[in-house]
Amino acid sequence: MAELRKLTDNVSGYVAEAVARQIRHQLLGDDLRRHEEEHGPFSDEELAEARAKIFGSAGTSTGADAA
């Protein structure tokens, strides 16, 4: 708890936002898995386009760092 207080005065709000972010992340992952089950795996081109939209040109590299 002391470590959280170093980050924010609003611990409750900070935790609520962290939980909401985790739920969004999980729901997105579920949607992506469902899409791949219905349409097959994403192509390298689709993944590169998604990275570019999310991260800009810096996110177009391949490999483990881009995941």
For the stretch 37-57, what's the b/e string if a residue is b when 16 or more beta carbons lie within 10 angstroms of its beta carbon? eeeeeeeeeeebeebeeeeee
Q: Which long-range contacts (CB under 8 A, 24 or more apart) does 10-17 make?
A: none
Count the neighbouring beta carbons within 10 Å of the beta carbon of residue 22.
10
Q: What is the pLDDT of residues 8-50, one digit of tens each?
A: 989 999 999 999 999 999 999 999 999 999 999 999 999 999 9
What pLDDT score was predicted for residue 59? 46
Strands, DSSP E only, in the chain?
none
Q: Give every CB contact of residue 6 below 8 A, 6+ residues apart in sequence.
A: none
How is the chain split into domains, by residue range? 2-66
